[in-house]
Amino acid sequence: MANAGQKETLIVGLGATGISCARFLASRGESFRVADSRSNPPALTELVQDYPEVAVELGKFKEQSFVSASALVVSPGVSLREPAIMAARDQGISISGDIDLFSRHVQAPIVAVTGSNGKSTVVEILASILHFTGCNFGVGGNLDGHRFKPALDLLLEAEQRQLYLLELSSFQLETTEKLNAEVACILNISADHQDRYNSMEDYILAKQRIYKGAKHIVVNRDDVLTFPSRMFTAIRWDFGFGQPGSSGFGLLEEDGEQYLAFQFEKIMRVNELKVFGRHNVANVLAAAAMAVAAGIRRKSIIEAIRGFTGLPHRCQWIANVTGIEFYNDSKGTNVGATMAAVEGLGQRISGHIVLIAGGVGKGADFQTLVPVIKRWVKQVILMGRDAAAMAADFDAEVQTSFARNMQEAVRTAFNHAESGDAVLLSPACASYDMFENYQQRGQSFVQSVENLQ
């Protein structure tokens, strides 16, 4: 695609994001080539079919290929600590990602969400609110589980949008210089991806990049790590479980009943929500705060959140088998998510929880789960690659069993449960040791529950 001697952009990584970058650069007539450390990356066939003239380099990254590029566009799954990428950076070569490209070329306002937990749920609540208002919007960003479109594909759609709603990961934000969002929010921060970052501080700083250039920022009053680390000129909104102030959402109590509230006014009872658990109340409050910041009328916000029923694989009720409830929280891929799921479900049921957990631990410290387990869980069934490591982090008071596969885990959990109890799949781990993604893991759980009946 390039003339002789002309430098080209190098797309690093050929998954769903990488191929979306290829489509976008090709649409603009820009020259590019591709590198991927895998021998058979997921989008290779598509690239070869659609862009046969594009050079592709597979296998171990070659430093010369990187330092000879005009710019790098790095997929979020590739660490910026790769030696070849660091060498290019040392040579002053521009390093960006798909969200950075998106922010430079988008012609409509961006509403952006990040956080360790709850991103997808908050985006879906916001989407419900926007649908209710009749807004013509696009949704994209984080491709964990392939739920959303790559952001750059949204810009290639023929239809003009009034607004873009993005779920963003810390990996995507690492390569985003200035998002310039209309509204930006960090929902929460808890330990995650410590196998990718040198420290929690590095992880937090990556998340904080979402605030760069934002007109409105939304912070979690109950999590100081979501507060901007430096001064921003943006208008600030907040949400949290306490009584809200003049610029936020929160909770008020009257006659033993809890209410969602905006500023100093009750807007609806918490028990009117169709989702349960403290974490989901926080998700609703966050989405409502972001919607207000985006200029949406409060009436539309209330009606939309009243009708929101939740997402698959996120504390999703599956079945009642002989008085035992089964819940699928396969999206609980880190410790914070599992803690929230256990607490939310524990407060809702009359009995105890039998927890199914395990998978790829991503370097997490599972000791922080122990207090929650002791309060709500009668038995933990562990499976997957890091099951033994998880058990080693628990103390002797935590009752644990091991299972070789999901069907065995569900059967063992069922045998430990009794009427009034709940069996909860909330792994606190990634799924890729045994499954393609968290959806397949959740579907395996659902099928195993169906086999009990």
**Strand ranges, E, within 324-410:** 324-328, 353-357, 377-382, 400-402
Letter string b/e over residues 116-125, b meaning 16 or more CB atoms within 10 A of that residue's CB: bbbbbbbbbb
Q: Which of 117, 142, 188, 437 is catalytic?
A: 142
353-357, strands of its sheet edge to edge: 316-321, 324-328, 422-425, 353-357, 377-382, 400-402
Alpha-carbon span 438 to 426, nearest angstrom: 10
Q: What is the pLDDT along the chain (453 residues), one digit of tens a residue?
A: 444 446 899 999 999 999 999 999 999 999 999 999 999 999 999 999 999 999 999 999 999 999 999 999 999 999 999 999 999 999 999 999 999 999 999 999 999 999 988 898 899 999 999 999 999 999 998 865 446 789 999 999 988 899 999 999 999 999 999 999 999 999 999 876 666 788 898 999 999 999 999 999 999 999 999 999 877 789 999 999 999 999 999 999 999 899 999 999 999 999 888 787 788 899 999 999 999 999 999 999 999 999 887 778 888 888 999 999 999 999 999 999 999 999 989 988 889 999 999 999 999 999 999 999 999 999 999 999 999 999 999 989 999 999 999 999 999 999 999 999 999 999 999 999 999 999 999 999 999 999 998
Q: Which of 119, 279, 313, 362 is catalytic?
A: 119
Q: Are 428 and 332 in contact (CB under 8 A)?
A: yes
**How far apart, in Å, do the first and last CA atoms of the chain sit?**
59
Q: Which of 193, 207, 212, 352 is catalytic?
A: 193
Residue 171 CB partners (closer than 8 Å, separation 6+): 76, 77, 193, 196, 206
Name residue 301's beta-bridge partners: none
Active site residue 60: no
Active site residue 193: yes
Alpha-carbon span 382 to 385, nearest angstrom: 10
Residue 190 CB partners (closer than 8 Å, separation 6+): 116, 117, 334, 335, 336
Transcribe 273-285 into DSSP letters. -SS-SHHHHHHHH
pTM value is: 0.76
Active site residue 119: yes
Q: 111: helix, coil or strand? A: strand
Q: Are 137 and 130 in contact (CB under 8 A)?
A: yes
Alpha-carbon span 390 to 386, nearest angstrom: 6
Q: 44: helix, coil or strand? A: helix
Q: Are 207 and 186 in contact (CB under 8 A)?
A: yes
